[in-house]
Amino acid sequence: GQATAAGMPQNPTKGGEYGEPARTPQPGATVEPPSPLVGASTTSENIASAKVGKGVAPVAASPVADPLDRVRSDATGQTLTTNQGVQIADNQHSLKVGLRGPTALEDFILREKITHFDHERIPERVVHARGSAAHGYFEAYQDLSKVTRAAPFAAAGKQTPVFVRFSTVAGERGSTDTARDVRGFAVKFYTDEGNWDLVGNNIPVFFIQDAMKFPDLVHAVKPEPNNGIPQAASAHDTFWDFASLSPESVHMMLWTMSDRAIPRSYRMMQGFGVHSYRMVNAEGESVFVKFHWTPVAGTHSLVWDEAVKISGADPDFHRRDLWESIEAGAFPEWELALQIFTEEQAAGFGFDILDSTKLIPEELVPLTPVGKMVLNRNPDNFFAETEQVAFCVAHVVPGIDFSNDPLLQGRIHSYLDTQITRLGGVNFHEIPINSPVAPVYNNQRDGHHRQAIHRGRVAYEPNSLAGGSPAQAGYRRGFTTFPEHIVEDKVRGKAELFADHYSQARLFWQSQTTPEKQHIVKAFRFELSRVQTLAVRERVVSLLMNVADELAQGVAGGLGMPLPEAAPVLALQPLPSYEPSPALSLMNFPGDGSIKTRRVAILVANGVESEAIRGLYTKLLTEGAVPRLVGPLLGQVTPVDGDPLNVEVSVEAMPAVLYDAVIVSSGDAAVSTWMNDPDVMDFLRDQYRHGKPMLMLGGSSALLKQAGIPSALPDGSVDDALLMADSAGADAAFASFKTALAGFRQAKRDAN
């Protein structure tokens, strides 16, 4: 407790005990990030982001974020009240009949508080329950009105506010971020002509072709219904049983077994609209488009062993990463590009553009960049914004229209429907985060939790009593469906080219680099090793045999099983044949070459030589990277030269997998301590194993031998991400270290 003016101890949580002074909270202390290189030890992981910024959320002017001030609630300096605004005298004790007697039913304060608490949870999303979101804006590069009348593309430089939510699919709300899974990439554009939701994934194709199968797919991948196992994982019998009996899922299987399914960061993955959509211009002319988001930071992934270890060390890895980089002012950015094509072009593709298990190779239809998206503001409240945001595929604006993709058609129904249960009624559009910036007037009325107070006696159209308002916009202004000409039989079934399940799976496989292929084989091996039913394993491999021999052999060999017969293939002619497409490899998007936001551990202990690491620390900060002094325990370490160093984090609290690279200090005493420290040995082995850049200063390179780390690559060549420098050469080594870090990972070490 702190001393009040009256000298009384003050505990702000005990107003009833200590009276009036306690109702005045302490002014919030501003955290100025201390430098770990000088002064007293005061660091904590909570101010991690302050390392590259001020630690204060930058508040960008936004027509969505700013009006939310209306509902933002800040209790600073305020008194505690009930929901009816009655000031609460004592928030510690229920109303009792005698100090040792029963609680009175009359205690409306207790009952209101507990009742509200009892109903705090709402149903989680049936899929994509685990997610993280941020505010930002989309900025158009050019006037796209030749192609679409959609508001965000009306003029070069036009900004449209967005709210973006990233997610995993299978896990529950509290599940780990680094599960092997598809990632959701949902963008809500608050356009001046209404809200447009582009609800995509980080993979451009999907498991199934028809909405009819979605509940089966989801039931198969979710925890098994008898025992609720496994959480956030597809590595179990029911998922692979379903997948192996659905050959249409083969192409997507390859993507989800690739490194795409374990991204390093939400900031470092692509996004795709998946389906073909239509764009329509003011003249009513239409083309088809596919949407692509490409991260400026490049596409980078984890390796599986790392993802597994991160799940234990920091299950919020992606959530924290997004939050911290925005807090630090390192705003994530993507470029939006379109593949634009006509119906006539599509007829010659050799696959059906209404089939979501197919992508359009960029060799066939190149990307047209149309704008960029910047995320520059974290939500104030996770529940109010990230949890309550309701994305809906049916939210389109004039200029955007659907295709007949049967998966998309089913989604148009599903998203509106699911919000009614999840958000408790039909008025979820009035929840602030879901409200459009465009005005809303119609004759829909009532329903649970209605916010608007509609005036007047007219709630119908046409009317004369309200002068005909609100009136139809007419075809020029209002949303107009593209009048596609269709004369067909009403049937259940699918179009012929939907039956080709393998051509594009082969295209994907052939477009991967060797390490990527190895990772795919290992991912299948891992997943199928966990499958208990032999016939399921066999069926999966029999599908893979139609993709590539080396793939099927690699997987079968890893499972200790003979090659089964290939699954039957429908003879369809002629099938498209593809050249490998570089754009399908993650390696194709290295990023902007900077090391911004990359986390670098600098190992320190008593007896280090601190001069070199002080210099490197400052250099890393200047480059926008996030250095950390990692020591045996919190507190200070004493170097052989200069001031004590403040350990920012211990090896135990943040193991190797939470950094992108390591620098090991020199100093005989420190090195000899580390030689016998199992945590440090594990740290170095993991850094090496996961392909991360390592800079060993002075005598610390002796640790490599002790840890069993080879100094050359498996093929005998030089490992340019494993660097050694004496302390005098540390500066020069920094340039090489930076290059290695910008390149992200040494793929050729491949212990994974």
* String of contacts with ligand HDE for each residue 244-283, x by CB under 6 A: ------------------------------x---------
H or E element: which one contains 62? none
**Smallest gap from residue 33 Cβ to ligand HDE (A):** 32
**Smallest gap from residue 126 Cβ to ligand HDE (A):** 5
**Smallest gap from residue 134 Cβ to ligand HDE (A):** 12
Nearer to ligand HDE, 338 or 662 (CB): 338
**Smallest gap from residue 218 Cβ to ligand HDE (A):** 8
**Smallest gap from residue 279 Cβ to ligand HDE (A):** 17
Rg of the chain, C-alpha, whole Å: 29
- Burial zone of 494 (CB within 10 Å; 0-12 exposed, 13-18 middle, 19+ buried): middle
* String of contacts with ligand HDE for each residue 185-204, x by CB under 6 A: -x------------xxx---
Nearer to ligand HDE, 131 or 743 (CB): 131
| Whether 201 is catalytic | yes
Phi-psi bin for 77: left (phi > 0), alpha (psi -120 to 50), beta? left
Binding segment (CB under 6 A) for ligand HDE, from list 233-241, 255-263, 407-415, 591-599: 407-415
**According to the binding rule CB under 6 A, does residue 128 interact with ligand HDE?**
yes
Binding segment (CB under 6 A) for ligand HDE, from list 71-79, 90-98, 140-148, 413-421: 413-421
Out of 71, 89, 122, 126, the only residue in the binding site for ligand HDE (CB under 6 A) is 126
Give me the half-sphere count of Cα atoms (radius 13 Å) on the Cβ side of residue 251. 26
Choose, from 11, 93, 119, 128, the residue flagged as catalytic.
Answer: 128
**According to the binding rule CB under 6 A, does residue 706 interact with ligand HDE?**
no
Tokens of 373: 């998206």
- What's phi and psi for 507, nearest 5 deg? -55, -45
Instruction: Mention every residue, 6+ apart, whose C-beta is less than 8 A from residue 72.
Output: 380
SS3 374: strand
Choose, from 201, 427, 546, 646, the residue flagged as catalytic.
Answer: 201
Return the residues of window 619-678 that contact ligand HDE according to CB under 6 A: none
Binding segment (CB under 6 A) for ligand HDE, from list 91-99, 127-135, 250-258, 359-367: 127-135
Nearer to ligand HDE, 201 or 746 (CB): 201
Return the residues of window 165-184 that contact ligand HDE according to CB under 6 A: 165, 167, 184
DSSP letters for 204-248: SS-S-SSGGGHHHHHHHHSPPTTT---TT---SHHHHHHHHT-GG
Task: Tell me whether strands 649-650 and 645-647 are parallel, antiparallel or unpaired.
Answer: unpaired
Smallest CA-to-CA distance from 260 within 300, 319, 232 is with 300
Question: CA separation (Å) from 678 to 119, 684, 703, 707?
Answer: 47, 10, 12, 9
Nearer to ligand HDE, 123 or 468 (CB): 123
**Smallest gap from residue 658 Cβ to ligand HDE (A):** 25
How many Cβ atoms from other residues are within 10 Å of residue 532's Cβ?
A: 9
SS3 168: strand
Out of 35, 94, 414, 638, the only residue in the binding site for ligand HDE (CB under 6 A) is 414
Binding segment (CB under 6 A) for ligand HDE, from list 52-60, 257-265, 411-419, 495-503: 411-419
Binding segment (CB under 6 A) for ligand HDE, from list 122-130, 502-510, 517-525, 732-740: 122-130
Phi-psi bin for 194: left (phi > 0), alpha (psi -120 to 50), beta? left
Q: For CA atoms 440, 441, 443, 449, give the dihedral sign.
A: positive
**According to the binding rule CB under 6 A, does residue 329 interact with ligand HDE?**
no
Question: How many angstroms from the chain centroid is the CA of residue 231?
Answer: 18
**Smallest gap from residue 434 Cβ to ligand HDE (A):** 11
| Whether 443 is catalytic | no
Nearer to ligand HDE, 87 or 421 (CB): 421
**Smallest gap from residue 355 Cβ to ligand HDE (A):** 12
Nearer to ligand HDE, 135 or 738 (CB): 135
Q: Which position's Cβ is nearest ligand HDE?
A: 184
Tokens of 621: 């900060």
d(CA 407, CA 199): 13
- What's phi and psi for 417, nearest 5 deg? -60, -45
**According to the binding rule CB under 6 A, does residue 292 interact with ligand HDE?**
no
**Smallest gap from residue 209 Cβ to ligand HDE (A):** 10
Question: How many angstroms from the chain centroid is the CA of residue 420?
Answer: 25
Out of 418, 650, 706, 752, the only residue in the binding site for ligand HDE (CB under 6 A) is 418
Binding segment (CB under 6 A) for ligand HDE, from list 360-368, 412-420, 517-525, 708-716: 412-420
Return the residues of window 376-395 that contact ligand HDE according to CB under 6 A: 391
Smallest CA-to-CA distance from 19 within 70, 109, 89 is with 89
Give me the half-sphere count of Cα atoms (radius 13 Å) on the Cβ side of residue 64. 31
Out of 211, 232, 253, 297, the only residue in the binding site for ligand HDE (CB under 6 A) is 211
Nearer to ligand HDE, 189 or 206 (CB): 206
**CB environment 316-325: b (16+ within 10 A), e (fewer):** bbbbbbbbbb
**According to the binding rule CB under 6 A, does residue 334 interact with ligand HDE?**
no
**Smallest gap from residue 362 Cβ to ligand HDE (A):** 19
The type of residue at 465 is L
Smallest CA-to-CA distance from 202 within 261, 243, 162, 128 is with 261
Out of 137, 153, 163, 206, the only residue in the binding site for ligand HDE (CB under 6 A) is 206
* 661-664 β-sheet, strand order: 649-650, 626-631, 599-603, 661-664, 694-697, 722-725
Return the residues of window 214-243 that contact ligand HDE according to CB under 6 A: 214
| 27 cis-preceded (ω within 30 degrees of 0) | no
Q: Give the footprint of ligand HDE on this chain (CB under 6 A).
A: 125-128, 131, 165, 167, 184, 186, 199-201, 206, 211, 214, 274, 356, 391, 407, 410-411, 414-415, 418
Active site residues: 128, 201
